[in-house]
């Protein structure tokens, strides 16, 4: 099969190899998926940069997310799965074989059937963004109807999903974006609930729009946003965060948050218990059936262009999903 892989950590253009690898066969409890679209996410870039998954493996086929069609099953998996269109979660997490290949094998539960009407591009765009978004909203007992929620970085892949999922759960939602042009990504929200992240009056404007402090903060930049978080979060509120790239070792306003009884949840989707992951898969399926989730494909690349796809994510210059397309191969 045609695939991309790396054998050492480093820059995408220096370490990613495109060539032929043996076709994989599914083992017990596994399915094999013919990949149509492989999605690149920041986690895939960081894994390649650090080489953290190479221990115990000669090479890594990158990318955790994707979508395609089940074409073979291993022992213990019903043959009825053959022919299913599926979206993929965590193909390369703890494994050597991701979705940047014509085929991948993975545990059957991590190849989730796509409902009728949900296309493969949308399927490939779910994975990391959708499960992360669900986890941020499930943290601390989950969103209640009427709960005030602020989603930061809401034009991003995770934030966009989180806004839609929170609305689906009956929350009162506000959001921040980096640029005025990003507001169009949040059509489900009225303009008066979308704010620029660097607005000096952000906290006051959010409180005014929602009628008080927020009970849940879904946060893409934990360290950088701590000052505004402390001025926005309600008593016994939840901060659910999945990144802190600009401030990886943040200084915490401990007493301000302690006196409010705030709980902070660090979201790492591959560390979630299987039961929590399965609840996320089920919730995503329900949202897809209802037509409440969509995606924006920001860029497409061929397998031979996979280094450029990884660079696009590193540089943060693409809005929407970055897909490596196998459909024409």
For 209-251, the pLDDT digits (tens) are: 999 999 999 999 999 999 999 999 999 999 999 999 999 999 9
Query: Tokens 């050597």 sit at which residue?
Result: 96
User: What is the predicted pLDDT for the residue at 44?
Assistant: 98
User: What is the predicted pLDDT for the residue at 101?
Assistant: 99
- Packing angle between helix 42-50 and helix 306-315, nearest 10 degrees? 110
- Nearest CA to 325 out of 91, 36, 1 is that of 36
178: DSSP letter: S
User: What is the predicted pLDDT for the residue at 92?
Assistant: 97
User: What is the predicted pLDDT for the residue at 317?
Assistant: 84
How many angstroms separate the Cα of 170 from the Cα of each of 66, 147, 178? Answer: 29, 8, 25
Is the C-alpha dihedral spanning 178, 149, 271, 96 positive or negative? negative
User: What is the predicted pLDDT for the residue at 187?
Assistant: 82
User: What is the predicted pLDDT for the residue at 289?
Assistant: 98
Q: Alpha helices of 66-126 — where are they, by DSSP H? A: 120-124
Q: Distance between CA atoms of 8 and 58, rounded to whole angstroms? A: 9
How many angstroms separate the Cα of 77 from the Cα of each of 14, 74, 86, 118? Answer: 39, 6, 15, 24
CB atoms within 10 A of CB 297: 17
Q: Distance between CA atoms of 161 and 261, rounded to whole angstroms? A: 27
pLDDT along the chain (329 residues), means of 10: 98 98 98 99 97 95 99 99 99 96 99 97 98 99 97 96 97 96 88 95 97 98 96 98 96 95 98 98 98 94 98 92 85
Q: Are 40 and 78 in contact (CB under 8 A)?
A: no
Domains of the chain: 2-128+294-325 (3.90.180.10), 140-266 (3.40.50.720)
- Nearest CA to 49 out of 3, 98, 15, 92 is that of 15
User: Cα Rg for the chain, rounded, in angstroms?
Assistant: 20
Cross-strand partners of 174? 150
Instruction: Return the SS3 of 156.
Output: coil
**Structure tokens that stand for 190 in this block:** 């009225």
């Amino acid at each position: 099969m045609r695939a991309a892989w790396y054998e050492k950590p480093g820059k995408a253009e220096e370490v990613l190899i495109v060539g032929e690898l043996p076709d994989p066969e599914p083992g017990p409890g596994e399915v094999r998926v013919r990949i149509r679209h492989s999605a690149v996410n920041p986690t895939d870039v960081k894994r390649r940069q650090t080489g953290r998954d190479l221990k115990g493996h000669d090479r890594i086929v990158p990318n955790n997310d994707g979508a395609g069609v089940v074409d073979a099953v291993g022992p213990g998996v019903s043959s009825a799965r053959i022919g299913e269109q599926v979206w993929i979660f965590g193909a390369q997490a703890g494994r050597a074989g991701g979705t940047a290949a014509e085929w991948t094998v993975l545990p059957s539960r991590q190849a989730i059937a796509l409902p009728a009407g949900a296309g493969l591009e949308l399927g490939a765009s779910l994975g990391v963004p959708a499960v992360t978004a669900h986890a941020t909203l499930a943290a601390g007992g989950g969103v209640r109807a009427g709960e005030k929620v602020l989603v930061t970085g809401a034009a991003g892949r995770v934030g966009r999903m989180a806004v839609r999922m929170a609305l689906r759960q009956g929350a009162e939602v506000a959001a921040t974006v980096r640029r005025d042009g990003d507001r169009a990504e949040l059509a489900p929200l009225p303009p008066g609930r979308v704010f620029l992240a660097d607005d000096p009056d952000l906290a006051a404007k959010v409180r005014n729009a929602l009628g008080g402090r927020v009970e849940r903060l879904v946060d893409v930049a934990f360290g950088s946003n701590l000052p505004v978080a402390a001025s926005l979060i309600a008593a016994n509120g939840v901060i659910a965060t999945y990144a802190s790239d600009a401030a990886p070792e943040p200084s915490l306003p401990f007493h301000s948050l302690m006196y409010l009884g705030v709980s902070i949840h660090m979201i790492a989707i591959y560390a979630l218990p299987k039961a929590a992951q399965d609840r996320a898969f089920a919730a995503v399926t329900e949202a897809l059936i209802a037509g409440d989730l969509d995606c924006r494909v920001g860029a497409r690349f061929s397998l031979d262009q996979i280094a450029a796809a990884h660079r696009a994510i590193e540089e943060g210059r693409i809005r929407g999903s970055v897909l490596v397309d196998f459909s024409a191969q």
